[in-house]
Amino acid sequence: MSIKPLVLENVSFRYRDRQGAAIHNITFSAEPGELLLLAGASGCGKTTLIRAINGLIPRSYKGELSGKILVHGQETTGLPLARISQMVGTVLQDPERQILGTKVINEVAFGLENMGLPRTEIIRRAEEALAYLKILHLRDRETFHLSGGEKQKVALAGVLAMKPSILLLDEPLASLDPASAQEALEMIRRLADEGLTILMVEHRVEDVLRIHPNRIMYMSEGEIRYSGDAQGLADAVDFREVKLPARQIARRAAHEPAPERITLLPGMQDSAGMPLVRFENVSFGYESEREVLHGINLEINKGDVIAVLGPNGAGKTTFVKHAIGLLKPKAGRVLVNGKDTRQASVAEIAGTLGYVFQSPSHMLFAPTVREELAFGPKNLKHPPAQIEQDVKRALEIVNLRERENDPPLSLSFGQQKRVSIAAILAMRSKILVMDEPTAGQDYRNYMNFMDAILQMPGFEAVLFITHDVDLAVIYANRVILVSDGTVRADGRPQDVLRDYELLHACRVVPTSLLDLNLELLPKTGQFLRAEALGTVL
């Protein structure tokens, strides 16, 4: 009988500093070339399971581990981490935590150097991995200047170069534009077809279903509650927790009371007056010979809920960093409340614009979640009573009341993302700017906090960079398409998102929700969430 690459028998784990087990009684095995999708709500134990398989538990994350984990028939408890990492490759959810090298080629070669391979073989295998992922053109680029999606691909190249037989992917699509996500999924399917055993944690279930995973496991409260095919998944899961194709959600929601209509930024629609932010012919480049933004002209007005869509490396984050004064234009100017950002400090602008970074580790540092949330308002000299009230309200909005005394960096990536959003909510900035707000979030959490944010009094405009087309469909009243550092389209979602040719040119892939909304638009007259379309079908 052949030995299976991966076997888990009654695996349970409790973190040393937490009550209750994070995972309990996990039992399953995986075959060579099997692609397993692991789905479930944020904080249900998916990342803990990955840490147990790749040996980080109990070596880096201390606590009580029981049960057996066998990789190619060997119990991992008796193996050194270096040996496990040669058999089990891991790509983390947040590539920032994985990238150490300053140059791309150095980063991809790092693991191979630790294996003590000859230099010629290191270079050959590193370049092969980059070519396999179609990013050989990034070979000599500095990792610091890569987009989030590019960093994700580089982290994966570093793992593939080591030729593991098991690949663990924690939210591999979180930072990727829709077209890159499709390419990544096709590549993941190809790796599995070539014999790699792959366990993929992913909230974008609908996207992964397109490549026909061999098995889907659904986790809830630290246990595997379902293991089977895609057909059975729809009946086994809560459609509010795991995002299913839009027509399936609409049909299941048709038998329930219709969701309340969300009013975006109540009282702010069609507000006249001076623009909150104005870009006047803005150009910028990190390196003198390479321009990232060219000739950007636009305004952000009161009542705007703007989704910024476009491919990885298109300049979306660079554009937003100009609005908050973190970057200053090389040509043209940016005005915030009529004042040139060159004349205003970042601290001054922070009173108007609150920015949630793409990577939460860039902004989290305090000993507890509560102190993290209070830090900004204290610096802005808000009264103590108001700080207390605003911190409490922000914790409720992002569903983290029970974690207020936990260290932020001990939380899952999805929970850290919610802490970083709450930190800005507590500051009461007039304009909320979020970079990939739904990365690492389960469907219920991101719908709940987006609903709450867009009905909060105080915000005059909300702008979010996203690769999630459905977020733009459901929440935006304006969509800006950015590609190659220029604005390709700017208008109502119904107008911008119906041009599929332009979307494909900007590497934006239409979703089942967009398809269904466009089909039903003559009846509805507006874009709606899948749950609300059930009554129209």
Q: What is the CATH number of the domain that holds 162?
A: 3.40.50.300
- The pTM of the whole model exceeds 0.85: no
How much is the pLDDT for 270? 52
What DSSP element (H or E) covers 156?
helix 148-160
Identify the domain containing residue 217 by its residue range: 6-237
CA dist., res. 175 & res. 37, Å (int): 18
CA dist., res. 284 & res. 66, Å (int): 54
What DSSP element (H or E) covers 234?
helix 230-236
Task: Residue 450: count other Cβ atoms within 10 Å of its Cβ.
Answer: 23
How much is the pLDDT for 317? 87
In this predicted model, what pLDDT tens digit does every residue of 296-318 receive, in sequence order? 999 999 999 999 999 877 888 89
Tokens 């201390």 sit at which residue?
A: 62
417: in domain: yes
Cα radius of gyration (the chain): 23
500: in domain: no
Q: 269 near 462, Cβ under 8 Å?
A: no
How much is the pLDDT for 272? 60
212: in domain: yes
Domain end (from 375, 398, 427): 427
How much is the pLDDT for 379? 87
514: in domain: no
Which backbone phi and psi does 427 adopt, to 5 degrees?
A: -85, -15
Distances (CA, A) of 152 to 370, 398, 419, 463: 30, 26, 22, 24
Write out 244-277 in H/E/C secondary structure: CCHHHHHHHHCCCCCCCCCCCCCCCCCCCCCCCE
Q: Find the helix packing angle between 148-160 and 178-193, rounded to 10°.
A: 10
How much is the pLDDT for 269? 54
Tell me whether residue 179 is exposed, middle or buried, using C-beta atoms within 10 angstroms of its C-beta: 0 to 12, 13 to 18, 19 or more. middle
65: in domain: yes
Tokens 């929601």 sit at which residue?
A: 253
CA dist., res. 432 & res. 354, Å (int): 5
How much is the pLDDT for 254? 83
Tokens 């399953």 sit at which residue?
A: 28
Domain end (from 237, 267, 291): 237
CA dist., res. 428 & res. 410, Å (int): 26
Domain end (from 217, 237, 257): 237
CA dist., res. 106 & res. 178, Å (int): 28
354: in domain: no
Say if residue 211 is in the same domain as residue 75. Answer: yes
For 384-536, where are the E strands, in sequence order?
A: 431-435, 461-465, 478-483, 486-491
How much is the pLDDT for 428? 84
414: in domain: yes
The DSSP code for 37 is: E
39: in domain: yes
What DSSP element (H or E) covers 226?
strand 223-228
Residue 220 token pair:
């809830």
Q: 398 near 453, Cβ under 8 Å?
A: no
Q: 497 near 309, Cβ under 8 Å?
A: no
Q: Which residues of the chain have pLDDT under 50?
A: none
In this predicted model, what pLDDT tens digit does every residue of 475-534 receive, in sequence order? 999 999 999 999 999 999 999 999 999 999 998 989 999 999 999 999 999 999 998 998
Which backbone phi and psi does 208 adopt, to 5 degrees?
A: -70, -30
Domain count, the chain: 2
How much is the pLDDT for 138? 94
Mean pLDDT of the chain: 89
